[in-house]
Amino acid sequence: MKEFIRNKLEKMLEEYKELSYADVERIGWVNLESTMLEGKKYWPSIWSEKLVDDNVLLVVQLTKWYFLRIMGATDCIGFLKFMGSRLSLLFISFY
């Protein structure tokens, strides 16, 4: 993952890391306005999903499309929020 992408994702994630478990669970999928980073257009999204073990996953991602929004690359980071706890685990991924 390129450093400028990771910096943008970490900045996006900062806005959400203090949310409660219930607030994170309600986010669903949110597509944000496209943004330019180092002269290239990226499409940011934020989404959450409740997992089987009652933890909730929050992900912020940036997608760069190469061909007609069919082929692209996505970088993402996020965290797991545990019910009844303020503890979260951070993960980093890219496709």
pLDDT in tens, 9-39: 999 998 888 888 889 999 999 999 999 999 9
Domain coverage including residue 32: 3-94
Domain total in the chain: 1
Give me 77's structure tokens: 């980071």
pLDDT in tens, 32-69: 999 999 999 999 999 999 988 888 999 999 999 887 77
CA 6 to the chain's CA centroid = 11
pTM: 0.82
Counts of helices then strands in the chain (DSSP H, E): 2, 6
Residue 45 has a CB neighbour count (10 Å cut-off) of 16
Partner residues linked to 64 by β-bridges: 73
Give me 22's structure tokens: 């219930």
